Amino acid sequence: MLRFAACLVLWGIAFDAWAWRCNGWIIEPGKTLYEVGQKCGEPEAADQRIEWRTLQNFEQRCDTRMEPVEVPATPPATGGPRIEYRPRTVCFTIPVSVTVPVQVEEWYYSDQGVGNVPKLLRFENGRLVFIETLWGQRNMP
């Protein structure tokens, strides 16, 4: 029974890492700034900044060339094989790096009552991407 209780506690800690219950609503990654603001109210503190990220992508490029092809002679033609030029398309993939701006906002919600744990919500380009539980800043009685 003790193991079961320990598993539930650990599962609760893991669950809290990706979702948060705020005013009866479940807040999870993917929500917009507007949705979180409507459901949880204004944060106690907020920070905004631009971060630059380099993204690695791959681009396919194709090139068509005329290549000589040896065609065997067919009767009643005389002589040896002849050369014809036919198009051949060659495609290859090249890595492309792009640096893009990311609008980052971090909202801080303090514990609302004794024993609750403060949260830091990180938004990127207007979408919630991460919920951090700030255990060290817990309000204790």
Range of the domain at 116: 22-137
Domain presence at residue 12: no
Average pLDDT over the chain, rounded to an integer: 81
**Within a domain: residue 2?**
no
pLDDT at 73: 73
pLDDT at 1: 53
Residues 6+ positions from 57 with CB-CB distance below 8 Å: 95, 96, 97, 98
| DSSP string covering 73-104 | --TT--SS-EEEEEEEEEEEEEEEEEEEEEEE
Total tally of structural domains belonging to the chain? 1
Within a domain: residue 114?
Answer: yes
| pLDDT tens string 102-134 | 999 999 988 665 556 788 999 999 999 998 888
What's the rounded Cα separation, in Å, for the pair 120 and 82?
A: 74
Q: Which of 3-7, 14-18, 77-81 has the highest mean pLDDT?
A: 77-81
Provide the pLDDT for residue 97: 94
- Give domain status of residue 15, yes or no: no
Residue 8 falls inside a structural domain:
no
